[in-house]
Amino acid sequence: MILLLTASAAWAQATAQMSGTVRDASGAVLPGVTVTVTQVDTSVTRTTVTDAAGAYVLPNLPTGPYKFEAMLQGFRTYSQTGIVLQVGATPAINVTLAVGNVEETVSVEGAAPLVDVKSSGISSVVENERILELPLQGR
């Protein structure tokens, strides 16, 4: 039993935590920002989303070097490298996202119109209701 408690205490000491707040250029908090950290040595990623106060917490991260990214539609992606987590460290990485460029995608599909090349007449479709409303001779 003592061995298990010692192992769990050792595991808890071999991790770190990253937290912070994400704001826009005016200082307003940004909820819904996707925050991703990637451990450089192992390429293992952890992702979270900021809460209503713009805050995020990434607990129990293995120690080592990390790459940090924060993304939200309509804003430029924030990226930071060179973050090295030490045992038991809890660095606060506060981020300010700049407004991004508006991107617009227009998809155009061209198709040839359906043309009857065998007939030169003009035609149109007459609805059934219009036919029933036509006056009849002898009524």
90 domain residue, yes or no? yes
11 domain residue, yes or no? yes
Residue reference for tokens 């930071």: 80
132 domain residue, yes or no? no
103 domain residue, yes or no? no
What are the residue ranges of helices labelled H in 19-127?
Answer: none
120 domain residue, yes or no? no
pLDDT in tens, the chain (139 residues): 444 444 444 444 588 999 999 999 999 999 999 999 999 999 999 999 999 999 999 999 999 999 999 999 989 999 999 889 988 888 999 999 998 876 555 555 555 555 555 666 666 677 888 888 888 876 5
9 domain residue, yes or no? yes
CATH number, residue 73: 2.60.40.1120
pTM for the complete prediction?
Answer: 0.64
Name the amino acid, one letter, at 113.
P
State residue 119's pLDDT score: 64
- The number of domains in the chain is 1
d(CA 13, CA 8): 9
87 domain residue, yes or no? yes
- Which residues span the domain enclosing 62? 2-97
d(CA 31, CA 28): 10
d(CA 14, CA 4): 15
12 domain residue, yes or no? yes
Burial of 66 (0-12, 13-18, 19+ CB in 10 A): buried
